[in-house]
């Protein structure tokens, strides 16, 4: 597999509403998660250079299942796009079901290599984000925080927000880092590519 463009051949594999329908728990899997208005699908489309891979919508909460994408023909390296949380205008019951599915996935998936938490750089570290960060701390799971929509702020403000986020992770003694990103301008895409490649051991 060519490490220069490993994400270019990413393909949709399966959409599941139950853990039993997930692919065989082998190989390496990286989970993408974030609030429903964080631009998670747009980030996934940006790194794969495929604007049609993950469905995007002006209505937050479009992702209601765990969507699995394969980045190689052997289906041994995968990206799991988890349901968005926190913002979607759905019933409390539906939000509880999503939370239950996400929690079950995180606590059972042996192939999970790391967690990518997408945040709107203008509104980072909401309560639901912190819950996931705490989980990474408790389980010693590698963490990457992607501060998306950085094109909405000045470059100096972006640098300050990234610095603050990394300081927070350091103070929490977390195995992770934060980076600024813009899915519209692909700012930060090289750093994100390199981090994901290291997690996938390529």
Q: What are phi and psi of 99, to 5 degrees?
A: -60, -40
Report the percent of the chain where pLDDT is more than 90: 70
pLDDT tens, residue by residue, 162-178: 999 999 999 988 889 99
For residues 84 and 61, the answer to whether their CB atoms sit within 8 Å is: yes
pTM: 0.90
DSSP states along 133-200: HHHHHHHT--EEEEEE-GGGS-HHHHHHHHHHHHHHHHHTT-SEEEEE-BTTTTBTHHHHHHHHHHHT
């Amino acid at each position: 597999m060519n490490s220069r463009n490993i994400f270019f051949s990413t393909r949709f594999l399966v959409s599941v509403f139950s853990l039993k329908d997930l692919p065989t728990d082998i190989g390496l899997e990286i989970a993408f998660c974030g609030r429903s208005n964080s631009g998670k699908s747009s980030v996934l489309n940006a790194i794969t250079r495929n604007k049609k891979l993950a469905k995007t919508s002006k209505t937050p909460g479009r992702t209601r299942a765990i969507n699995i994408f394969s980045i190689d023909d052997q289906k041994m390296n995968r990206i799991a796009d988890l349901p968005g949380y926190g913002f979607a205008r759905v019933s409390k019951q539906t939000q509880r079901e999503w939370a239950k599915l996400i929690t079950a996935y995180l606590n059972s998936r042996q192939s999970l290599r790391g967690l990518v938490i997408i945040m709107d750089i203008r509104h980072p570290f909401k309560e639901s984000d912190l819950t996931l960060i705490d989980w990474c701390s408790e389980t010693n799971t590698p963490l990457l925080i992607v501060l998306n929509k950085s094109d909405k702020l000045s470059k100096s403000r972006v640098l300050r927000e990234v610095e603050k986020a990394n300081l927070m992770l350091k103070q929490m003694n977390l195995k992770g880092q934060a980076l600024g990103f813009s899915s519209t301008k692909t700012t930060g895409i090289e750093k994100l590519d390199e981090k994901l490649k290291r997690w996938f051991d390529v």
